[in-house]
Amino acid sequence: GAAMLRGAGAVLRRAASLHSQGQASGAGSPQPLEPWLLRCLVCPLSKRPLRYEAATNELINDELGIAYPIIDGIPTMIPEAARSTQKRPPAEVPEQP
């Protein structure tokens, strides 16, 4: 409840402070996500837990096939910011007589 919100607020304030001091990592060196924070986060669309993918520094919803980016250590949980993780099949070419 309230303690969790205070903890999340502290993490966000720390990230903002590091960013303003020029110490935040850029896209080339992602910051690892706090394990306790990952347990609290759910997909805003499905309300299901997310999986952290260190290789891409994203939070993955395998059920919906989308990935939310983590920018400067802060998860961007906006559905419009998510990318599709599913490969699209090639468009079918209609047969010609």
Domain boundaries, the chain: 50-89
pLDDT at 96: 63
pLDDT at 55: 93
- 50-89 in CATH: which number? 2.20.25.10
Whole-Å CA distances, 70 to 3, 5, 54, 58, 62: 23, 19, 10, 6, 17
Q: What is the pTM of this model?
A: 0.60
What are the per-10-residue average pLDDT scores of the chain (97 residues)? 53 51 50 83 95 94 96 92 81 62
Instruction: Give the Cα separation of 48 and 11 in Å (integer).
Output: 22
CB 80 within 8 A of CB 45: no
